Structure 1
Amino acid sequence: PDAECDSLGVAIVGIAQKDKLITSFGAEVGDKVIVAIDLDGKPHEMFALNWDTTYDKDAQLVQDQITAVQYLAEHDYIKSGKDISNPGILGTLEMLLETSQKGADVNLADIPKNENMPWNDWLKSYPGSGFVFTAKEDKCDFIKEYLAKYSIEADVVGEVTDSMTLNVTYNDQTIEVFNQNKNPVFKL
């Protein structure tokens, strides 16, 4: 949003039921925030913040990971979601929250993390297979168990609020990371 020109990069592959799409504008107050990432990867040799989970993987597993997310969408487990992209884990979550016109409280320690990556790099990373979702509480256990079958660790990391802010707590300290009234990502 701070570039000198407007630009958009999109890739769409496959067929989806139009009433079963995962959108970023469906989060509701009280939904749980889930972060789901394939932790079995490594920093890409040419771009350290790209968490490469596809290059050395079995092609069938990579395809199954995508199909697993499709299954969750088609069976109404997920309310909203985004694949984690260039803004990293928290930036991607903020993009979802802004389009849903919501906020969230997140516990940093609950975010799935590869133990070899420092938090600063991990939160900025762009995983090959990583997602932020919102879901009703009664759907969360199934989502976590289902994705685990496909080498994706998913955990409930927080809850959607009506605050229009993204607050992150770690070691009993809470900071406001984004405030849509002061520093929106999209500047809608």
Structure 2
Amino acid sequence: MSRSIDPGLLAESLRAHPAILSKRAIATATLGLGLDATAAGRPGDDAAALLTAEGFDLLAGEGFIPGFVADDPWFAGWCGVMVNLSDIAAMGGRATALIDQVWAPDAAAAAPLLRGLRNAAEAYGVPLVGGHTNFAAPDLGLAVSVLGKAKRLVTSFDARPGDVLVAAIDHRGAYRNFDNFCAALDAPHARLRGDLALLAELAEAGLLRAGKDISQGGIVGTALMLAECSGVGIELDLEAITPPDGVALARWLASFPSFGFLLAVRPEHVDGICARFRARNLVVAPIGRIIDGASVSLAAGGAVATFWNHAETPYLSLALKEPIHA
């Protein structure tokens, strides 16, 4: 490897990253609602999963940072669709419908936001079926919710020591704003739909133990959420993580890709799963391992540094009291 990586310095800087720290607000919200990991829908997952006779109904939603919406309303609308569909795919599901909630001072201000929502829904082939609109608000605001179905569920609570952590990410894009790396805007619609469908196909084949979509907080923040929910540790191999050309590793580890998933996989399934993603020209590789304990650590060049210990400092505070694998 040509790059020199200091795991300790990287861990220290990432612990203070605003996107990673922002996820800690989830614990305050769930506490206020009286929710924990045993509540219906199991908070801590990418979507709530409700058991039905045919499988699972999935429900998820995203509210957007006001500054993000104001900075790029059309892209915010697009992301309102895109990130929700990723949440459903991460659960091994297929999205069936979207609803939106839009606030704006007037119809003209809302127009680019609505256009972004519509453009993305058409691109991904998932219908927008209604929502709520307020054209008397002082500022632009956006929230989007999604419904989906899964035949075989993938959760954040099932990673086990001995599993391999695989990252699958689309590098065919660029940063749009903030640390949002978007590879969707110029992609053929059929490719967008097929890439997301692959997650459900792998789940239905029983090849995925656990997983999450890489969200705000990037690879390291998402790995921490997965580790805490499953009651395990994760060691990330920094030398196995390849950012897109021209992107620094530190930024990539905290970036929010438009298509990106962390998957806990049995060792015997790794090669087959990687081949399926590579066949779609997605960048995929084993980037770490699931281990006993509660630490998410960064490793490179024989050095290992703790990024976060979720037993000592809870992140989401949504871990099960007893790990599922115990």
**Aligned counterparts of 2:291 and 2:307: Cα–Cα separation in 1:** 14
Change in Cα spacing, 1:86 to 1:135, as seen in structure 2 (3 Å) is: same
**Aligned counterparts of 2:186 and 2:314: Cα–Cα separation in 1:** 37
Unaligned runs of 5+ in 2: 1-23, 31-59, 63-83, 89-94, 97-147, 319-326
Q: Which of 207, 226, 231 in structure 2 is aligned with 1:101? A: 231
Task: Report the Cα offset of residue 183 of structure 1.
Answer: 2.2
Give 2:105's aligned residue.
none
Unaligned runs of 5+ in 1: none
Change in Cα spacing, 1:171 to 1:115, as seen in structure 2 (3 Å) is: farther
Give 2:168's aligned residue.
36
Q: Which amino acid aligns with 1:145?
A: A
1:184 aligns with 2:314: yes
Q: Deviations over 1:137-175 (max 9, x none)?
A: 010001111011222211111111111111110222211
Structure 1 counterpart SS, 2:194: helix
Task: Report the Cα offset of residue 39 of structure 1.
Answer: 1.1
Whichever structure has more helix as a proportion of its residues is: 2
Q: Which of 147, 156, 167 in structure 1 is aligned with 2:277? A: 147
**Aligned counterparts of 1:112 and 1:151: Cα–Cα separation in 2:** 15
**Aligned counterparts of 1:107 and 1:96: Cα–Cα separation in 2:** 16
Number of residue pairs the alignment of both structures matches: 185
Give 1:2's aligned residue.
25
1:16 aligns with 2:145: no
**Aligned counterparts of 1:29 and 1:55: Cα–Cα separation in 2:** 37
**Aligned counterparts of 1:186 and 1:83: Cα–Cα separation in 2:** 16
Task: Report the Cα offset of residue 118 of structure 1.
Answer: 0.5
**Aligned counterparts of 1:48 and 1:173: Cα–Cα separation in 2:** 30
Q: TM-score, normalised by structure 2?
A: 0.54
Structure 2 counterpart SS, 1:115: coil
Q: TM-score, normalised by structure 1?
A: 0.91
Larger radius of gyration: 2
1:76 aligns with 2:209: no
Give 2:287's aligned residue.
157
**Aligned counterparts of 2:300 and 2:198: Cα–Cα separation in 1:** 31
1:131 aligns with 2:261: yes
Give 2:68's aligned residue.
none
Change in Cα spacing, 1:6 to 1:145, as seen in structure 2 (3 Å) is: same
Task: Report the Cα offset of residue 65 of structure 1.
Answer: 0.5
Higher RCO by CA contacts (8 Å cutoff, separation 6 or greater): 1
Q: Do the aligned residues in 2 keep the contact of 1:37 with 1:112 (CA within 8 Å)? A: no
Structure 1 counterpart SS, 2:154: coil
